[in-house]
């Protein structure tokens, strides 16, 4: 999983935010994500996944997660979704 201090986070965050905006769904996350940090990048990946903008493979690339980490992360997102509802947007 990507390190909190990884220098690529701001670039990846901006790239993903632009991709979300290009799909017209950026207003759904206004005020929900604070800035280009690891937690924000993970949130954008979760949002992108549940809105069909990102595949699991792309999330793995953005977060530099290996297959095991990615599987656990996405499973956790689904568990959270089942327990709390969407909560992403």
Residue 89: pLDDT over 60 = no
**pLDDT (tens digit per residue) in 58-82:** 999 999 999 999 999 999 999 988 8
Q: Please give the pLDDT value at position 87.
A: 57
Residue 88: pLDDT over 60 = no
Q: Please give the pLDDT value at position 6.
A: 93
Residues 6+ away with beta carbon under 8 Å from 37: 4, 9, 13
3-state SS class at 64: coil
d(CA 65, CA 83): 24
Q: Report the share of the chain in percent with pLDDT over 90.
A: 76
Mean local confidence (pLDDT), 11-31: 93
Q: Please give the pLDDT value at position 86.
A: 66
Contact 42, 49 (CB under 8 A): no
């Amino acid at each position: 999983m990507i390190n909190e201090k990884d220098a690529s986070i701001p670039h990846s965050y901006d790239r993903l935010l632009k991709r979300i905006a290009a799909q017209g769904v950026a207003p759904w996350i206004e005020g929900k994500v604070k800035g280009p940090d690891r937690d924000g990048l993970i949130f954008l990946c979760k949002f992108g996944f549940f809105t069909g903008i990102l595949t699991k493979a792309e999330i793995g690339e953005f977060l530099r997660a290996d297959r095991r980490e990615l599987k656990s992360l996405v499973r956790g997102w689904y568990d959270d979704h089942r327990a709390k509802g969407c909560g992403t947007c």
